[in-house]
Amino acid sequence: MAVHLEQRRLVLARASGCCEYCQSQSAYSADSFSVEHIIPRVRGGTEALSNLALACQGCNNRKFVSVEAADPLTGRVVPLYHPRRDHWDKHFVWSADFLTICGLTPTGRATVEKLKLNRETVVNLRRLLRGIGEHPPPYAVSH
């Protein structure tokens, strides 16, 4: 079953137009953002709003059907960040220059690594947007 237009509108508004993983802003993306299933349908996820998140194509493609990944520090397999259940600022922090996202917990570190939250293109965009006062978006600092 496909996500309905009203669900998409609600997910986009709830996320303030930002990828709920890497905090990229849809207004500055060359690609449209996806409404992704936090728990993929192939793993029993539903179409409920509580299972939907806004994701840029980079994060959505890297997450795919994953719900867990290895923590690069310990090697232990841990759950990926869950935007409806977890609080962003409990698992992540911005670097002092707001260009990179640092994982604070095993879940945060595993998510940074699996989804490549600091991929070169995203960091370059953050740098440019920071230069014109458009990064980080207010939503991304107020988690």
* Pairing relationship of beta strands 34-37 and 52-55 according to DSSP bridges: antiparallel
Q: Which domain holds residue 71?
A: 5-132
Blockwise average pLDDT, block size 10, the chain, 143 residues: 84 96 95 96 96 98 97 98 97 97 98 98 97 86 47
Residue ranges of the alpha helices (H) in the chain?
5-14, 57-63, 88-91, 106-115, 120-131, 138-141
Judge whether 84 lies within some domain. Answer: yes
Q: Please give the tally of structural domains in the chain.
A: 1
pLDDT at 85: 97
- 137 found inside a domain: no
pTM: 0.93
What are the φ and ψ backbone dihedral angles of 138, each rounded to 5 degrees? -50, -40
Which two three-digit tokens encode residue 38?
């936090």
> Per the domain annotation, does 141 fall within a domain?
no
